[in-house]
């Protein structure tokens, strides 16, 4: 790249819409949404009512969520000026970065917080304030999908931040997030009601 990375219309066309370049197909998004929603509702023991989608892009999760839960409150946060200008009003997206979450005045808590395919692009300086905000906004399950130095990943590697599995787990533990499987994490209150084996807790 010769300049700053631009999340513009061309970027989304290349990585999300071009059948020859895109890594994740719509059917895969649907399966992932159903999986994460199922985990959240199982942990909460009720249907989810609110979702915060951080780094949502064009908000591909929104339609799948609303199809299953039509009354759900969806809030997307996205740094791309293109995505916010084009889809912000119609899809409930506000402009912001991962690190600025705590300053956006978001109306939490949220039953589900989604950070899908985002964390490995977040500068280290933004991880701490962003995770602090997620911890304070979380009222259920956080889906924190991240890929580490142990993973072989296809797709966009520009501005990729190489972190170990242990580094992410230390960041999550610092803000009181407990792993319950499949990139999903819960706060202390829900963790206390979950099984130790589900959390991967060692004896």
- Per-residue pLDDT tens over the stretch 154-203: 655 667 788 999 999 999 999 999 999 999 999 998 988 777 767 666 55
Report DSSP letters for 96-133, one per residue: --STTGGGS-----EEEEEE-S-GGGS-HHHHHHHHHH
Residue 97: pLDDT over 90: yes
Instruction: Give percent of the chain with pLDDT exceeding 90.
Output: 69
25-192 CATH fold: Rossmann fold (3.40.50)
pLDDT of 7 reads 75
Instruction: State the average pLDDT over residues 86-91.
Output: 96
Domain spans of the chain, in order of start: 25-192
Q: Is the pLDDT of residue 27 over 80?
A: yes
Calculate mean pLDDT across residues 77-82: 94
pLDDT band at 3, cuts 50/70/90? very low
Mean pLDDT, residues 83-105: 97
Instruction: Supply φ then ψ for residue 93, to 5 degrees.
Output: -110, 130
């Amino acid at each position: 790249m010769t300049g700053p990375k631009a999340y513009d219309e061309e970027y989304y066309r290349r990585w999300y819409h071009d059948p020859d370049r895109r890594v994740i197909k719509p059917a895969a998004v649907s399966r992932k949404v159903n999986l994460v929603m199922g985990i959240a509702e199982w942990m909460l023991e009720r249907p989810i009512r609110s979702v915060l989608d951080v780094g949502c892009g064009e908000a591909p999760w929104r339609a799948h969520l609303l199809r299953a839960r039509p009354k759900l409150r969806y809030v997307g946060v996205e740094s791309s000026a293109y995505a916010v200008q084009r889809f912000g009003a119609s899809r409930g997206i506000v402009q912001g970065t991962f690190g600025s979450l705590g300053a956006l005045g978001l109306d939490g808590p949220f039953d589900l917080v989604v950070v899908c395919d985002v964390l490995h692009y977040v500068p280290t300086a933004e991880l701490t304030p962003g995770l602090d905000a997620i911890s304070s906004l979380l009222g259920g399950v956080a889906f924190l999908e991240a890929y580490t130095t142990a993973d072989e990943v296809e797709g966009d590697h520009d501005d990729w931040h190489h972190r170990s599995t242990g580094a992410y787990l230390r960041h999550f533990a610092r803000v009181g997030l407990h792993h319950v499987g499949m990139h999903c994490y819960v706060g202390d209150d829900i963790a206390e009601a979950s099984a130790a084996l589900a959390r991967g807790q060692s004896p």
